[in-house]
Amino acid sequence: MDDDRPLSGVRVLDLTNVLAGPYCSYQLMLLGAEIVKIERPGDGDLARSLGPEPELNRAALGASFLAQNAGKKSVELDLKDAADRADFEDLVRDADVLLENFRAGVLARLGYGWEVLHALNPRLIYCAISGFGQTGPMRHAPAYDQIIQGLSGMMSVTGTPDTAPLRVGFPVSDTVGGLVAAMSIAAALAGRSRTGKGVCLDVSMLETSLSAMGWAASNYLVSGVAPEPMGDQNATAAPSGTFRAADGPLNIAANRQEQFETLCRLLERPDLATDDRFADREARKRNRPALNAEINTALRRHTALEWERRLGAAGVPAARILTVAQAVELEQLTQRGFFTDVEFPADPRRTLRVSGNGVLVDGVALRPSGPPPLLGEHNAEYRTSGSEEVTAP
């Protein structure tokens, strides 16, 4: 399928580290782009040393790196070295996209701002991902995912009134920033097919995070209603949140009137649907604690899995709450080919399982074209200054 993927033939120079940028280029790789990862000699992407296995970290193959870099090529270049700069400029001339996630202005101080890159390759699409964007009073401030989560207001609505603010349990701001960058690059490539010209894309993680917050931000912008932390409950509807079945937690989102009435029937509590306290959406929201108590009592008759099946079959959104270990074993993911086993870099005793991106093209899942690269593994292929190809550490 590789030759038929939407971005086949597109070359991306990836100067990024850790997550937002590598996640972006991983999406582009799955869609068919050739990703040439430009890494600092000797050290490489910081993610190479991040993960739960110290041995892998020491080998520059940390789990964080392995998860986001399958199918990419690795080339070591020092942009302060004259020979390496010449190699880099040759790569820029042949590239379609240059992606970086330095602090604002860092690449320009190295001599490769947008004007220089555009002069080297007028068709180049340059995408910079940063915490706050390339302009504005915060443009030079350092930022990691947690910093953006806090500044965006995300942490203020995560948890309960007693526990907030809490960090979301995965790097959501990094991920959203990477997704928006990938979408923007794909759009810019489509635009270039009409104009023939490259563009400069400036992606702010703060802004993409706020954009992704949906009603938590829009309710305030439109109606002046500030969101509050509600734990596992949904502020827009009731019953909508986490409940307790006989053996554990169960999510139910009966957000529509007909779904609520069906829920009441399946719970063998049709009286709840005619109770004035629960007659419509606004009434149910006002009386949420009382309604939740009634539902939890009725749910005790069956397990969470049994309720998931019964309610789902009747059109009421409901599902168990799984651990990550349980979620990755879902048959749904297996059937759609979401995970791929690739060779483990430099260790034939192991295999590496990596995720896709949830997209099927003509019914076929998008998969990485190969394993994550060793640091500098493709030096000989992409450099003209005589560097040797790297072998296993």
Q: Which H helix or E strand runs over 364?
A: strand 364-365
Buried b (16+ CB within 10 A) or exposed e, 99-131: bbbbbbeebbeeebebeebbebbeebbbbbbbb
| Cα 327 to chain centroid, rounded | 17
271 catalytic residue (yes or no): no
CA dihedral 157, 161, 165, 171 (to 10 degrees): -50
> Which tokens belong to 330?
């879902």
Q: What are phi and psi of 145, to 5 degrees?
A: -50, -50
Q: Which of 174, 271, 280, 362 is catalytic?
A: 174
Looking only at the bridges linking them, the beta strands covering 125-130 and 97-100 are parallel
- Residue 168: name the closest of 184, 152, 191 by CA: 152
- Residue 317: name the closest of 308, 326, 327 by CA: 308
Catalytic residue numbers, as ranges: 174
